[in-house]
Amino acid sequence: MPDKPPLHILLAGPRGFCAGVDRAIRVVEEALRRHDAPVYVRHEIVHNRTVVETLEAQGAVFVEELDEVPPDAPVVFSAHGVPKSVPAEARRRRLTYHDATCPLVSKVHREAERHFATGRHILMIGHAGHPEVEGTTGQLPPGAMTLVQTVEEARSVEPPPGGLAFITQTTLSVDDTSEIVATLRARFPFIEGPRREDICYATTNRQSAVKALAPECDLVIVIGSPNSSNSQRLREVAERAGAPRAILLPKAEGLDWTALHGVATLGVTAGASAPESLVADLLARLSERFRLTIEERCVTEEHVTFKLPAPLA
């Protein structure tokens, strides 16, 4: 049998689960323990099919809206946050509900409420249709926010006269968002905003880790689901930082081996909703075909944890 060809792996650190994702999964697991199956979950708890399928095997039932939840059944709201109308409907139907919204997303909700209370119109930097954006805009009456998705939109947006503020989705590209914020500040010098952009620590750290290794890689693989915003941004960041190619890979078994032709150094990372088991699966499959050397590049350590919401704590 011929010798396996060599392949050097640069493994990004941090990668994978963030504290908000870990907490959301624990909310579902604890709800199952307290209430027994089935426990209903409105939308994917986090944007990763492996996580969803694992929880389904334990008795979680994922639905799109509350009208799919039987009377008196327990329901969990996803980590991305929900409009205020959702818990109001749950209370009206007397459903027992647990809110798994990431505390950093809830912080953005409170910022929006504070700006609205002082009479400011809010520009939300984010992606249309993302559950986090829908949940955040749903904290306030219609018309209180205007969505800004690109620098071009930041140059052309015409908010109503009066006070102005901005907030951001937590899973955006750090560099893209900085450019949008700079454009808004140049146009509206008195715009109010957070001391630091609302992009969460985990998104920032994972993008920094990819930037640190991308210039040395022939290819970067980002493990994550296509509907995961932070995973998609990691792929974009890798290419902008110097990797000739970057691909998004939901699961190791979906890897197109032709993508590794000519690759001597491979970067590997995982989105904030992707479990470490998926990284291990990829490395195991790679080791079947290549003689691996693995080097972990860690730009920072993370020690953030979030408590479970009452009454699950």
For residues 234 and 272, membership in a common domain is answered with: yes
pLDDT band at 96 (very low <50, low <70, confident <90, very high): very high
Q: How far is CA 178 from CA 31, 39, 123, 214, 229, in A?
A: 39, 40, 14, 21, 17
Q: How far is CA 290 from CA 268, 285, 306, in A?
A: 15, 9, 39
pLDDT band at 300 (very low <50, low <70, confident <90, very high): very high
Domain boundary among 48, 81, 102: 102
Are 35 and 232 within 8 A, CB to CB?
Answer: no
pLDDT band at 2 (very low <50, low <70, confident <90, very high): low
Percent of the chain with pLDDT over 70: 99
- State the Cα–Cα distance between residues 211 and 54, nearest whole angstrom: 31
Catalytic positions, written as ranges: 132
**pLDDT reading at 155 higher than 60:** yes
**pLDDT reading at 8 higher than 80:** yes
Position 209 scores a pLDDT of 98
| pTM for the structure as a whole | 0.95
Task: Residue 147: give the domain boundaries.
Answer: 104-187
Domain boundary among 102, 131, 165: 102
For residues 211 and 136, membership in a common domain is answered with: no
**Number of independent structural domains in the chain:** 3
If you average pLDDT over residues 218-222, what whole number do you get?
98
193 falls within a domain = no
Tens digit of each residue's pLDDT (9 = 90 or more) over 198-217: 889 999 999 999 999 999 99
Position 86 scores a pLDDT of 97
**pLDDT reading at 1 higher than 70:** no
303 falls within a domain = no
If you average pLDDT over residues 182-187, what whole number do you get?
98
For residues 95 and 114, membership in a common domain is answered with: no
Tens digit of each residue's pLDDT (9 = 90 or more) over 25-78: 999 999 999 999 999 999 999 999 999 999 999 999 999 999 999 998 999 999
Using alpha carbons, select from 229, 18, 4 the residue that is nearest to residue 104: 18
Position 72 scores a pLDDT of 87
For residues 73 and 139, membership in a common domain is answered with: no
For residues 206 and 289, membership in a common domain is answered with: yes
Position 217 scores a pLDDT of 98
The string over 218-248, giving b where at least 16 C-beta atoms fall within 10 Å of a residue's C-beta and e elsewhere, is: bbbbbbbbeebbbbbbbbbbbebbebeebeb
The average confidence (pLDDT) of the chain is 96
Domain boundary among 79, 102, 125: 102
Position 311 scores a pLDDT of 86
Using alpha carbons, select from 289, 265, 262, 267 the residue that is nearest to residue 279: 267
305 falls within a domain = no
For residues 290 and 214, membership in a common domain is answered with: yes
Are 225 and 200 within 8 A, CB to CB?
Answer: no
45 falls within a domain = yes
